[in-house]
């Protein structure tokens, strides 16, 4: 169950990430060069690596990583909400 939830959190992270990148927010222009590589796709590679690592660890029975990834998703959701709602 923890593995499935981790995967669903990963899907949510990709959706939030895409929404922020598509928003055209001025904050995106100040991002570090790494995140601007390949039109922002390098950031998706990093996002995938985090998801893969979390899923591998959760799959080995380390369910604490599911909680960590859930908190990470919550932080991403808060940041996306702040950016997309214009509060930042």
Sign, CA dihedral 33-39-40-42, equals negative
pTM: 0.86
pLDDT digits (tens, 9 = 90+) for 47-71: 999 999 999 999 999 999 999 999 9
Q: What pLDDT score does 21 carry?
A: 85
Dist CA 65 CA 47 (whole Å): 15
Per residue in 3-41, pLDDT (tens digit) is 999 999 999 999 999 999 888 888 877 776 666 666 667
Q: What is the DSSP letter of 28?
A: G
pLDDT at 61: 96
Q: How far is CA 60 from CA 11, 63, 81, in A?
A: 20, 8, 33
pLDDT at 12: 98
């Amino acid at each position: 169950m923890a593995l499935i939830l981790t995967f669903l959190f990963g899907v949510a992270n990709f959706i939030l990430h895409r929404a922020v990148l598509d928003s055209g927010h001025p904050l995106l222009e100040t991002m570090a060069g790494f995140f601007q590589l390949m039109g922002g796709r390098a950031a998706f590679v990093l996002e995938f690596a985090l998801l893969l690592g979390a899923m591998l660890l959760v799959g080995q029975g380390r369910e604490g990583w599911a909680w960590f990834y859930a908190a990470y998703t919550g932080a991403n959701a808060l940041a996306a909400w702040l950016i997309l709602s214009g509060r930042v």
